[in-house]
């Protein structure tokens, strides 16, 4: 019996040597959402674009270019061994911190917020890079420390220590919705990674206490916009006229759509009534133009995408791939749910985009890159099953390279087709 300690970790190849099959259903759903999003973006944005810039294609032209680049990157990334990304965890985190600091120093200010960096050919939004960095980081930490998940240092303090600088820098922009999203990503990945329940109970109590203190501090201060938005939201359930103008116009847009909508391009609210129709409130325009049926179709596409993402994560050949898939699925699902909840006035108004639909090149390219990683994980899972069926090595277990979950050496295939390229740590 070979000594488990003698099993050497092999550096993953950049590209798969014998990749598994492309997940055709997941790919088709992604491409449908990209095309659907581009159509709705042009319909929602051309009136505002012409009024502000005298160019109806101001928003759709760069978005189309970003979509082409993003789809190409998605297919390329799907051929890259996702284990290779693990070596870039800390460099990506360092780049994220650098970009978040840079945006505070030399960033472009819009509506009182510094969230964008001008790089000559366009702008990038560092918070979108930060979301991906958090997913990479949490997948790595929860895999590397899987034997210490009951230890408060490894399962709570270390992840929060990495999250804290990002939260502070985002608060200085300010970008509160990104803070909420990234905190949610950390919690979901910790839960799925097996962190002990007691830390969630204690953490939930701490968050409630901090939230109450935060709102009390804001009340009556110069930074009272968060408190006022919450008060407006509560008051809107009794009288919609007391809601913020943006929320009120969004609800009017949804109501105007009825069952089948007023037709693509025929929205009234996008003509200078509803602010940011091309961004945070594009779902309201979709509801107005395509009606309840169009909204249901959109939600169904996202629900199918989230289901497919979770399925890929569950079928990943190792713990790291599963956690990476969970993080990406959580990112998409949280962003979709929060955007639609804001648009329909289910939660207070906060700026968060709708994946694949809202204007924003950084967001679209990053999301399509994440979809490429999911397709890579799906290829790995398919190849592992294929090799197992052919009598090759078993897929790596959570216990480590060449080990079973209990820590015993995993059975080794002895045939000529036995493969080693799935045997990585985690």
The tens digit of pLDDT for each residue in 207-265 reads: 666 666 666 665 555 455 566 666 667 766 766 766 777 888 888 999 999 999 999 99
User: Would residue 107 count as lying in a domain?
Assistant: yes
Residue 115 phi, psi (nearest 5) = -130, -5
* CA-based nearest residue to 43, from 364, 253, 356, 271: 271
Q: Tell me, rounded to whole angstroms, the distance of Cα 10 from its chain centroid.
A: 30
What is the reported pLDDT for 306?
Answer: 96
Task: Give bridge partners of residue 403 from the DSSP assignment.
Answer: 409
pLDDT of residue 70: 97
Q: Is pLDDT at 69 greater than 60 in this prediction?
A: yes
Q: Which of 329, 327, 308, 322 minimizes the C-alpha distance to 397?
A: 322
Strands, E assignment, 60-167 = 108-110, 113-118, 123-124
CB neighbour class for 407 (10 Å; exposed up to 12, middle 13-18, buried from 19): exposed
- Residue 423 forms part of a structural domain: no
Structure confidence at residue 418 (pLDDT): 33
Specify the pairing of strand 108-110 against strand 113-118: antiparallel
Residue 269 above 80 pLDDT? Answer: yes
Closest to 96 in 3D by CA, of 186, 44, 181, 170: 170
The rounded mean pLDDT for the chain is: 83
Mind listing the pLDDT tens digit for each residue in 106-130?
Answer: 887 777 788 888 877 778 899 999 9
The pLDDT of residue 421 is 35
Indicate whether 419 belongs to any domain. Answer: no
For residue range 175-219, list pLDDT tens digits in order: 888 998 999 999 999 999 988 777 777 777 666 666 666 666 655
The answer as to whether 421 is a domain residue is no
| 394, pLDDT greater than 50 | no
The number of folded domains in the chain is 1
Residue 422 in any domain: the answer is no
Residue 424 within a domain: no
**What's the pLDDT score for residue 2?**
43
Average pLDDT rounded to a whole number, residues 352-379: 94
pLDDT over threshold 80, residue 12: no
pLDDT tens column, 270-327: 988 888 889 889 999 999 999 999 999 999 999 999 999 999 999 999 999 999 999 9
pLDDT tens digits for range 127-177: 999 999 999 999 999 999 888 887 888 888 899 899 999 999 998 988 888
> CA separation (Å) from 113 to 76, 172, 182, 214, 229?
34, 9, 18, 20, 17
| Other CB atoms within 10 A of residue 414 CB | 9
Please tell me the distance from the alpha carbon of residue 68 to that of residue 182, in angstroms, as a whole number.
27
Domain presence at residue 47: yes
Question: CB within 8 A of 102, min separation 6: which ones?
Answer: 117, 126
* Sheet of 123-124, strand order: 108-110, 113-118, 123-124
The verdict on residue 402 lying in a domain is no
> What pLDDT, in 10s, does the model give residues 79-102?
999 999 999 999 999 999 999 999
Structure confidence at residue 64 as a pLDDT band (50, 70, 90): very high
Would the pLDDT of 368 be above 70?
yes
pLDDT at 211: 63
Q: Tell me, what's the pLDDT at 299? A: 97
Lowest mean pLDDT among 3-12, 57-66, 127-136, 141-150: 3-12
Structural domain harbouring 106: 20-388
């Amino acid at each position: 019996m070979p000594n488990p300690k003698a099993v050497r970790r092999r550096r993953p190849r950049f590209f798969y040597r014998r990749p598994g099959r492309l997940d055709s259903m997941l790919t088709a759903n992604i491409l449908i959402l990209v095309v659907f999003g581009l159509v709705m973006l042009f319909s929602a944005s051309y009136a505002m674009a012409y009024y502000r810039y005298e160019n109806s294609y101001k928003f759709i032209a760069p978005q189309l270019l970003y979509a082409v680049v993003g789809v190409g990157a998605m297919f390329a990334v799907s051929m890259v061994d996702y284990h290779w990304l693990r070596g870039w965890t800390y460099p990506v985190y360092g780049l994220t911190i650098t970009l978040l600091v840079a945006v505070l120093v030399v960033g472009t200010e819009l509506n009182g917020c510094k969230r964008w960096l001008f790089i000559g050919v366009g702008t990038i939004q560092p918070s979108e890079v930060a979301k991906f960095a958090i997913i990479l980081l949490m997948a790595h930490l929860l895999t590397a420390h899987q034997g210490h998940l009951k230890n408060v240092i490894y399962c709570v303090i270390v992840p929060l220590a990495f999250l804290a600088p990002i939260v502070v820098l985002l608060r200085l922009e300010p970008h509160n919705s990104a803070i909420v999203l990234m905190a949610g990503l950390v919690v979901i990945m910790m839960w799925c990674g097996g962190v002990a329940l007691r830390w969630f109970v204690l953490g939930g109590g701490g968050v409630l206490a901090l939230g109450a203190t935060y709102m009390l501090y804001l009340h009556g201060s110069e930074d009272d916009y968060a408190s006022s938005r919450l008060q407006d939201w509560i008051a809107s359930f009794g009288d919609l006229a007391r809601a913020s103008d943006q929320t009120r116009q969004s609800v009017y847009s949804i109501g105007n759509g009825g069952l089948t909508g007023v037709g693509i391009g025929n929205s009234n609210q996008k003509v200078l009534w509803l602010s940011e129709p091309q961004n945070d409130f594009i779902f309201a325009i979709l509801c107005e133009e395509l009606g309840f049926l169009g909204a249901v179709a959109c939600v169904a596409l996202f629900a199918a995408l989230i289901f497919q993402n979770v399925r890929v994560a569950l079928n990943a050949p190792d713990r790291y791939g599963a956690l990476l898939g969970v993080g990406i699925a959580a990112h998409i699902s949280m962003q979709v749910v929060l955007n639609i909840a804001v648009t329909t006035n289910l939660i207070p108004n906060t700026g968060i985009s709708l994946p694949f639909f809202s204007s924003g090149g950084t967001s679209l390219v990053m999301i399509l890159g994440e979809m490429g990683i999911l397709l890579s994980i799906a290829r790995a899972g398919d190849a592992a099953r294929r090799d197992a069926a052919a009598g090759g090595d078993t897929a790596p277990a959570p216990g480590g390279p060449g080990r079973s979950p209990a820590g015993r050496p995993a059975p080794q295939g002895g045939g000529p087709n036995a493969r080693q390229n799935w045997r990585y740590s985690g």
